[in-house]
Structure 1
Amino acid sequence: MKKASLALSLLALSTTGAWAQSSVTLYGIVDAAVRMTTNAGATAATNGKSIKTLQPGGMSQSRLGINVTEDMGGGLKAIANLEHRLMSDTGTATAADFWRQSWVGLQSNDFGRITLGRQYNILFDIYTSTYPSFRYSPYIEAYKPEIGMSLTARQDNMVKYLVESGGLRGEIQVSAGEGSAAGGKSMGGLLRYAQGEFAVGGAILQLKDGGGKKVTATTFGGNYTSGPLYLTASWARNKFQTGFSAPTNGALAASIVGALNAASALAEHRDMWSVGATYQLDAQWNLGAHYWHAKQNGTIAAGDGKGDFFAVVADYAFSKRTDAYLEFDHTKIGGNLTLANGARKRSGFMMGVRHRF
């Protein structure tokens, strides 16, 4: 009897080991660049001053992450992710939220994937999966007007469901405000279709502030890839309900040019159109260029204005994991808007190295 019990116990242990296969993967990016920015003085008296910095993430924000997968059999997996963003120049965290992503979920071959926690929103997903600005990098970390339209790119307290069939992908997200004074309640969906050389898609997301006022973000676009050539185009709109007060309704393209004059802080709506191209010269060299045009209508005339943004990048791959890049960008603000220091134009020059593991 004892021998039979021992045999059954050993069989159970061996069966469990075969049934649940777990893996933990450590990944990351370390990116740093030397950057010079013109017209970057803090005040009107110094707005012509150029500033030189060691940029802690030129093409990509430096990060360290952990992916967890457990194969539970029958096409079902448990998945989880923790990702920390860091400043490569100082070794400090980029923001108060130490974990920029922190989610857990289940993935099924038949029913799709559901994830719960702090994660990228559907606007960020559609931009980076369907019409990224550059073929070799979805956006330039140090200069990213398109990400400024994505309602902070992440949401807390989120439940997201993703399902794919052939070239069709759908996503929905819901996040709870949980009584926060800053709000954060959201709801939205994404639809994407990719076939051969083409990919098209769009998304809509509504976010509420602490007072229940809404901002609605809509975007659509696509890309075309043929051999070494990559072309992309997109449109986006952020429409704000009167009285919306969350930090999302900051200045036009504030994520790349800094705060604009105070009159721009409350927009009624913003639109952005963009076109770009990347050409792979050979196995190591990629050349890319992108242009964005944004227009803002304010709640008062003083908030009306526009912005033109342009960037070119030459990227050289030493290997599959390490590359170096040269980048130039230019910003021009018009209408009733200016930069916080009174300037209307700004240029940036950047040279950096990026390693992925």
Structure 2
Amino acid sequence: MKKTLFALALAGVFAGAAQAQSHVTVYGIVDTGIAKQTGKDTYMTHNYESSLGFRGTEDLGNGYKAMFQLEHRLNLNDGTVYGGNPDIDWYGGANVGIGTPFGTFRLGRVDELPTETLRTLDPFNQDSIASMTLSTQRSTHIDNTIRYDSPNLSGLQIGATYSLGKNTKGSDRDNAFARAGADNDGYAGSVLYDNGTVTLLGNWSRLADSNKSYIWNLGGAYAWGPLRLSLAYEKTHDKGWYNAERSLSENSGVADSSLINGVASKMDNWILGLNYRIGQGTFKAAFNYVKVKDVNGMSLADGGNYWNGHSSADLKKYAIGYTYDLSKRTSLYGMVAYTDYENEAISNFFNGSGYNEDSVTGVQIGITHKF
């Protein structure tokens, strides 16, 4: 934590020094609340991830500009680093780039395109107890990445990323990950059209070091007056490490059970959303349907006995919520969500071993301030 505080203080010094030659913006979100779910004690959580960020630009002339972003994220309820990894100081992003008349190029840790775009079709922003169930092959941010964003052409934008995988040469060559053959570079493409009334989007993504797993999604929204309706579909092919280990064993006769530490699966994910503005507040509702099939690699303790005898299982999630704006920056929120799991196996799949509730009801309230 001391390292994090030092990094934040150092960034503040740099931001002050940079004011004379470039534009630097300090921004962030502080959010926390209380939630209660079936099978869990009451706990504190968030509706938006709390963050403190620095964003800067410098005009280079002729339509070119330099830019950077440093964003720290934290759990406001206890002050710990968000994501559970104290070695990542800038969990929300750490990148530098060049803006040109032909688009923007950034290098470093950046937002993942499918998450950045598809979450706009979830009334609950893919966060909180009410958000849609996320694919096993989605990540909010991705490392070691080159990202390109095209100019906005009357609402149309195209994005692309290329991410470097783990080093599998030299001293890293014999690690289990490399021997399993699960290492790969990652890349993604995104198309987004948004004119304020109509939103249409599509993404294809392969995360780095995912055994060449991939997802694709499509969605759209239509808004008239205070009402906005949205619909999205996402398909996931998660190859896990299990298939890589099995292929390695069958082809070379090498058996190494330590490599079976991932779960292969396929997932179909639908979400239907509604936002309705009422005075200073917004009513939200969503229905999320998920079907998981072809699961391979789960232990018996995690419901593997069910998956070995059945091809698929599903869940249905219903959510409603209300956000009341006290001002342009501060809001109060409340939400209720009910998830109906077809069986304990799919409950284990998303919640982990030991959480065997076949239906879960959750309630959450809290406060958000943006600056």
Q: TM-score, normalised by structure 2?
A: 0.76
SS in 2 for 1:293: strand
The Cα shift of 1:309 comes to 1.5
Work out the CA distance in 1 between the residues paired with 2:262 and 2:165.
23
Work out the CA distance in 2 between the residues paired with 1:228 and 1:114.
36
Unmatched 5+ residue regions in structure 1?
1-19, 41-50, 247-263
Equivalent runs, 1:273-284 vs 2, <5 Å: 273-282=270-279, 284=280
Work out the CA distance in 2 between the residues paired with 1:343 and 1:118.
36
Equivalent runs, 1:73-84 vs 2, <5 Å: 73-84=61-72
Work out the CA distance in 2 between the residues paired with 1:287 and 1:332.
23
Q: Work out whether residues 129 and 337 of structure 2, in 8 Å CA contact, stay in contact via their aligned partners in 1.
A: no
Closer/same/farther in 2, CA of residues 33 and 156 from structure 1, 3 Å limit: same
SS in 2 for 1:138: coil
1:139 paired to 2:126: yes
1:52 paired to 2:49: no
Give the partner amino acid of 1:230.
Answer: R
Deviates more, 1:201-210 or 1:340-349: 201-210
Work out the CA distance in 2 between the residues paired with 1:244 and 1:320.
49
Q: 1:119 corresponds to which residue?
A: 110
| Among 80, 103, 123, the residue aligned to 1:92 | 80
Q: Work out whether residues 129 and 362 of structure 2, in 8 Å CA contact, stay in contact via their aligned partners in 1.
A: no
| Among 231, 248, 266, the residue aligned to 2:263 | 266
Give the partner amino acid of 1:331.
Answer: T
| Among 322, 334, 353, the residue aligned to 2:367 | 353
SS in 1 for 2:116: helix
The Cα shift of 1:160 comes to 0.5
Q: 1:25 corresponds to which residue?
A: 25
Work out the CA distance in 2 between the residues paired with 1:288 and 1:77.
39
Q: 2:342 corresponds to which residue?
A: 334
Partner deviation per Cα, 1:91-150 (whole Å, 9 max, x = no partner): 111131221110110112x2100010011111112214xx4312xx63333443354455
Unmatched 5+ residue regions in structure 2?
1-19, 169-176, 245-260, 297-307
The Cα shift of 1:154 comes to 1.6
Work out the CA distance in 2 between the residues paired with 1:232 and 1:149.
22
Structure with the higher helix share, 1 or 2? 2
Q: Work out whether residues 33 and 352 of structure 1, in 8 Å CA contact, stay in contact via their aligned partners in 2.
A: yes
Give the partner amino acid of 1:294.
Answer: V
The Cα shift of 1:87 comes to 0.9
Work out the CA distance in 2 between the residues paired with 1:219 and 1:175.
20
Work out the CA distance in 2 between the residues paired with 1:245 and 1:204.
22
Work out the CA distance in 1 between the residues paired with 2:202 and 2:239.
22
Q: 2:235 corresponds to which residue?
A: 237
Q: Work out whether residues 209 and 244 of structure 1, in 8 Å CA contact, stay in contact via their aligned partners in 2.
A: no
| Among 137, 142, 150, the residue aligned to 1:155 | 142
| Among 320, 327, 343, the residue aligned to 1:319 | 327
Q: 2:37 corresponds to which residue?
A: 37
Q: 2:99 corresponds to which residue?
A: 107
Give the partner amino acid of 1:195.
Answer: N
Q: Work out whether residues 190 and 202 of structure 1, in 8 Å CA contact, stay in contact via their aligned partners in 2.
A: yes
Work out the CA distance in 2 between the residues paired with 1:275 and 1:312.
12
SS in 2 for 1:145: coil
Q: TM-score, normalised by structure 1?
A: 0.78
SS in 2 for 1:127: helix
Give the partner amino acid of 1:172.
Answer: A
The Cα shift of 1:184 comes to 6.3
Work out the CA distance in 2 between the residues paired with 1:142 and 1:63.
19
Q: Work out whether residues 39 and 345 of structure 1, in 8 Å CA contact, stay in contact via their aligned partners in 2.
A: no
The Cα shift of 1:301 comes to 4.0
Give the partner amino acid of 1:132.
Answer: L
Give the partner amino acid of 1:205.
Answer: S
Structure with the higher strand share, 1 or 2? 1
SS in 2 for 1:177: coil
Give the partner amino acid of 1:160.
Answer: R
Percent of counterpart pairs with the same letter?
A: 26
Q: 1:258 corresponds to which residue?
A: none
